[in-house]
Amino acid sequence: MSEDSQGEEQKDQQNGDIILQMQERIDLLTVELERERSDTAALRRLMAEGAGKYKESLLARASDIPPSLVAGETFEEVEVSIAKAREIVEAVKAQNKQSISFRAPAGNQGRTLPDTSGMSSIEKIKYGLQESRDK
131 band by pLDDT with thresholds 50, 70 and 90: confident
Inside any domain, residue 89:
yes
Is 47 inside any structural domain?
yes
pTM as predicted: 0.51
Total domain count, the chain:
1
Interatomic CA distance for residues 28 and 107, integer angstroms: 88
Q: Is residue 108 part of a domain?
A: no
Asked whether residue 112 is domain-assigned, the answer is no
Range of the domain at 83: 17-98+118-134
More confidently predicted of 52 and 106: 52
Query: What span, in angstroms and rounded, lies between the C-alpha atoms of 69 and 85?
Result: 6
Q: Say whether 70 sits in a helix, a strand or coil.
A: coil
